[in-house]
Structure 1
Amino acid sequence: MKRSNTTGEAAIFRDVSLKSLKSQTGGIEAPISEVLTMLRDVSSRVDGEPAQTIKDAMKVLSSHELYAPSINRFRDADRIATQYYDGLIRLHHPARQRKRSVVDAHREKRGSHGERRRVSADVKNALENDNCWKFDILHLEKVSDHHALSQVGMKVFERWKVCDVLGCSDDLLNRWILSIEAHYHAGNTYHNATHAADVLQATSFFLDSSNVATHVNESHAVAALLAAAVHDLDHPGRGNAYLINTRQSLAILYNDNSILENHHIALAFQLTLQHNANVNIFSNLSREEFIQMRHAMVEMVLATDISRHFEYLAKFNKMSVIDVAEEQRDTNSLTICDMLVKCADISNPAREWGLCQRWAHRIVEEYFEQTREEKEKGLPVTMEVFDRNTCNVPITQCGFIDMFAREAFATFTEFAKLGELSDQLESNYEKWKLMTSQWTPSHNTNLIL
């Protein structure tokens, strides 16, 4: 039955041209972004010392940790106060040596090849184009008997010389990724090890962009790859709101804040550092190197919390990479990697149509099951739209692109010079849009099949 073109339905589909993006998203501008915009406007109308003062203020407001104290008045003169600052506030003490960019690191390591792993012919063929955006991770899932994460993981880690950075053996890294893979829930239709493999492959693809690699240091690149691999570890197939409403122990433990994201990264380090497992890939790092690697991985995994999506997007939008000091370059590197892993996590709508559609069916199926369980238990329904008996799947996909994916991909791909990904996203959007009028609840019966 053809759906009527009501005003409410028409509002679902917005003008999707990238030129109109700014006006479309004006309603979700962060307050700090508005302040920076006002200061930028003022600075363009003044000269001399006032202009420089405004620029200095903008630099402070654009810092990675806006509310982290910068206490300088006593640090050189008061030894006790300095120790309080370092011990209770600063917590970790980043080294000041210049860090190699991904470009520099790969130039130095060119020609270095590790020992090749033995894989079946089918898996080898499936891995052949793993550095391409059209890579079919779902085919690898099939031919590897659901070991896509360990298979693509070791190939990606080999390309990026992760063992060299961590100072560990290929065998140790292989044991680690197998342990991580084993702690994903195979029964989840979406949040499983194959999704982690997909995010890892996308992360590697983004890091391959020359404009990204120029501004990302080597340790952050490795942290991004490892964070991608663990970013949904032990995901129960239910969202944060469900865990809060059912008073799950994880919700109590993490005070209802980024519950799953905190759990994913905490468990990753628990598994890695346990003494009897022999999978500690960080054992040869210095204390300072480990602290920095851990800090970066935690930051990147927490950035995948969709409830903080616009916060990280605003931070990335206000980043400047022109004529910045060494310390700011390190902050920029982490900001870029936060955004990079975020985009990798929500990259399905920008994949080739066949993959886009199959991934959409997988996550919708998982949401259907959560909604069913919530209704059976008399719980608040987290997302009423994902009721199997009424859901119009294409509309939900258009809604996700409108709300989250479009601006994130437009912003990041402009920076990374990967505009073809945004083009693919818009093409998929149009396909979903055309399907909305023909979709009926009967299509929801066997989405995965």
Structure 2
Amino acid sequence: MSKSCFQVISLLRDAAGRVEGETAQLVKDAVKVLSSHELYAPSITRFRDNDRIATQYYDGLIRLHHPTRQRKKSVVDALRDKRGSHGERRRVSADVKNALENDTEWNFDILQLEKITENHALSQLGVKIFERWKVADFLSCNEDILYRWLCTVEAHYHAGNAYHNATHAADVLQATSYFLDSPSVAAHVTENHAIAALLAATVHDLDHPGRGNAFLINTRQSLAVLYNDHSVLENHHVALAFQLTLQQNSNVNIFGNLSREEFTSMRHAMVEMVLATDISRHFEYLVKFNKMNVVDVQEEAREGNSLTICNMLVKCADISNPTREWSLCQKWAHRIVEEYFEQTREEREKGLPVTMEVFDRKTCNVPLTQCGFIDMFVREAYATFSEFANLSPLSTQLEANCEQWKALSSSWTPANNLSLHM
């Protein structure tokens, strides 16, 4: 927090002691906001009384409860040096090869790949993307080690989750690679941050239990206790990723040939990017991205900008479903809603506070929940990022999908909720 902000807080506290009643309470509320992370979300702390969906998204997903720089070569320069030969690719069936054919396109059908590979989309797509970005070369590791690492990571996602599974990780990885391919992005991202973003996308929901942070906190689960109720799952995802990678006698240690400084830099970047996916800190990262200056900056500022861009990039990849073509957008929405339905059911069964009551299978209007999510989180983030990355068609698709959801909302009945994710 800046010195000027502390001065404002001090002045407000003094003023609070000299006024009474409602005015005093308003001053105290202002001090509370200035002293917390909610400073980054001033536009969402108040909703219309009837905006039930927005309020519950806020309460359920945001509120919850009250290194040495290395390898500064830009992505553009690095890929100019490296791209050309793809080397020997691991043998895959013709069906899988065909399903992977369009992986550089935004509307790549990851769900078709999931079906063809029998839930191994992450390892199959990961091999191709990592090969294209020369990840093994950058890490100075054997390609077999990198493949085993991918398979190990994939095995620690929960295939039984409707949404937070390895296919979601593959989807986020594909989006991350797509964003990094944008010349407008690549011009400002260093090579080490680009590689870190690909790895972070791969592990960003590792071992996700299919329940949100609020649920873990309310049930006093060990992870919530371990991480003091702060970014519980995000901390766990990235911590487990490094535990699996660095375990003794590991045959999946993709960082084994990095110097201490290189490893420290890579670890710092990956941790930052995974923690940035915590939706409760969404507006904090959006503000930081909006404040970034990429014009005529010094080397140190360029390094900081690179990380800020990648934080935003992975965040946008994580919430990219509403910007995909309608069929994919709809299928992903049904998956996440199914997971929320199950969480609500369990919360009611256990007598817990219900995180988001709107996600009750018996009453939920799914299209309205999707419009609410777009309004609260996706639209502004994509308007900002797509302008920077010169990817305006994504925002155009987002608005088209939102109109589709609005059209469906008037005829939606709870009966539709019985067979969403089949």
> Shorter-normalised TM-score: what interval?
0.7 to 0.9
Task: Please give the alpha-carbon distance, in whole angstroms, between the structure 1 residues aligned to 2:83 and 2:236.
Answer: 37
Which residue pairs with 1:364 in the alignment?
337
The answer on 1:165 being equivalent to 2:109 is no
Contact 1:138 1:194 in 2 (8 A): yes
1:162 and 1:276 map into 2 onto residues whose CA distance is: 22
CA distance in structure 1 between the partners assigned to 2:157 and 2:73 by the alignment: 33
| 1:272 equivalent in structure 2 | 245
What CA deviation, in whole Å up to 9, does each residue of 1:141-163 have, x standing for no partner?
00001000000001000000001
Where in structure 2 are the equivalents of 1:176-191 lying within 5 Å? 176-191=149-164
Partner in structure 1 of residue 28 of structure 2: none
Normalising to structure 2: TM-score of the pair? 0.84
The aligned runs of 1:79-98 (5 Å cut-off) are 92=67, 94-95=68-69
Q: Secondary structure at the match of 2:419?
A: coil
Q: Show structure 1 runs of 5+ residues with no match.
A: 1-28, 35-91
Alignment partners' CA distance in 2, 1:31 and 1:271 = 36
> Which of 246, 253, 261 is 2:219 aligned to?
246
Aligned partners of 2:367, 2:409: CA distance in 1, in Å? Answer: 5
Post-superposition offset of 1:111: 2.5
> How big is the shift at 1:116?
1.3
Q: Quick one: structure 1 residues 302 and 98, their matched pair in 2 at CA, closer, same or farther if it must change by over 3 Å?
A: closer
Inter-partner Cα distance in structure 1 for 2:323 and 2:220: 35
Contact 2:71 2:192 in 1 (8 A): no
Q: Distance in 1 between matches of 2:333 and 2:41?
A: 32
Name the structure 2 match of 1:320: 293
Confirm or deny: 8 A CA contact 1:133 1:202 kept in the other structure. yes
- Seen in structure 2, the aligned counterparts of structure 1 residues 235 and 321 have a Cα distance that, compared at 3 Å, is same
**CA–CA distance in structure 1, aligned partners of residues 255 and 146 of structure 2:** 10
Aligned partners of 1:33 and 1:318 also within 8 Å: no
Paired with 1:428 and 1:169, the residues of 2 have a C-alpha distance of 43
Measure, in 2, the Cα distance between the counterparts of 1:155 and 1:293: 21
CA–CA separation in structure 2 for the residues paired with 1:372 and 1:275: 41
Distance 2:227 2:82 in 1: 41
State the match for 2:178 in structure 1.
Answer: 205
Which of 203, 207, 212 in structure 2 is aligned with 1:230?
Answer: 203
Q: CA deviation at 1:112?
A: 3.4
Shift of 1:101: 0.4
Structural mapping, 1:354-433, within 5 Å: 354-433=327-406
- 1:332 is aligned to 2:300: no
Hey, what's the Cα distance between the residues in 1 that align with 2:146 and 2:283? 34
Partner of 2:101: 128
Question: Which residue is equivalent to 1:141?
Answer: 114
Distance, in Å, in 1 between the alignment partners of 2:276 and 2:282 is 7
Q: In the aligned structure 2, how far is the partner of 1:33 from the partner of 1:128?
A: 41
What do the CA deviations read for 1:283-328 (whole angstroms, capped 9, x no partner)? 0000000000000000000000000000000000000100000000
Gaps of 5+ in 2: 1-36, 43-66
Deviation at 1:448, TM superposition (A): 1.0
Determine the C-alpha separation between the residues in 1 that align with 2:85 and 2:359.
50
Aligned to 1:61: none
Q: Distance in 1 between matches of 2:300 and 2:314?
A: 22
In the TM superposition, residue 223 of structure 1 has moved relative to its aligned partner by 0.2
Residue 365 of structure 2 contacts residue 409 of structure 2 at CA under 8 Å; is this kept in 1? yes
Q: Distance in 2 between matches of 1:367 and 1:164?
A: 40
Which secondary structure does the structure 1 equivalent of 2:164 belong to? Answer: coil
Deviations 1:101-132 (Å, cap 9, x if unpaired)?
00000111132332111001110000000000
Q: Alpha carbon RMSD of aligned pairs, Å?
A: 1.4
- The whole-number CA distance in structure 2 between the counterparts of 1:349 and 1:225 is 21
Partner of residue 440, structure 1 = 413
Do 2:83 and 2:132's aligned partners in 1 also have CA atoms closer than 8 Å? Answer: no
- 1:321 and 1:332 in contact (8 A); partners too: yes
- Residue pairs, 1:293-308, within 5 angstroms: 293-308=266-281
Alignment partner, residue 18 of structure 1: none
Deviation track 1:69-105 (CA, whole Å, cap 9, x = no partner) reads xxxxxxxxxxxxxxxxxxxxxxx4x14x671100000
Q: 1:196 aligns with which of 146, 151, 169?
A: 169
**Quick one: structure 1 residues 180 and 381, their matched pair in 2 at CA, closer, same or farther if it must change by over 3 Å?**
same
Q: SS in structure 2 opposite 1:215?
A: coil
Q: Is the 8 A contact 1:227 1:300 kept in 2?
A: yes
8 Å CA contact retained: 2:71, 2:190: no
Q: Does the 8 A contact of 1:98 with 1:326 survive in 2?
A: no
Point out the more displaced range, 221-230 or 275-284.
275-284
Q: Distance in 2 between matches of 1:296 and 1:436?
A: 41
Question: How far 1:275 sits from its partner (Å)?
Answer: 1.8
Separation (CA, whole Å) in 2 of partners of 1:279 and 1:189 = 28
Provide the secondary structure at the position in 2 that maps to 1:316.
Answer: helix
Contact 2:40 2:283 (C-alpha < 8 Å) held by counterparts: no
Q: Are 2:320 and 1:347 aligned?
A: yes
In 2, Cα distance between equivalents of 1:98 and 1:194:
31
Counterpart CA distance in 2 for 1:245 and 1:231 is 23
Cα 1:33–1:381, aligned 2, differ >3 Å: closer, same or farther? Answer: closer
Q: Corresponding residue for 1:113? A: 86
The Cα shift of 1:181 comes to: 0.1
Partner amino acid, structure 1, of 2:76: V
User: Over residues 210-235 of structure 1, what are the superposed CA-to-partner deviations in whole Å (9 max), with x where a residue is unaligned?
Assistant: 00000000000000000000000000
Identity of aligned residues (%): 76
1:407: how far off?
A: 0.2
Aligned to 2:48: none
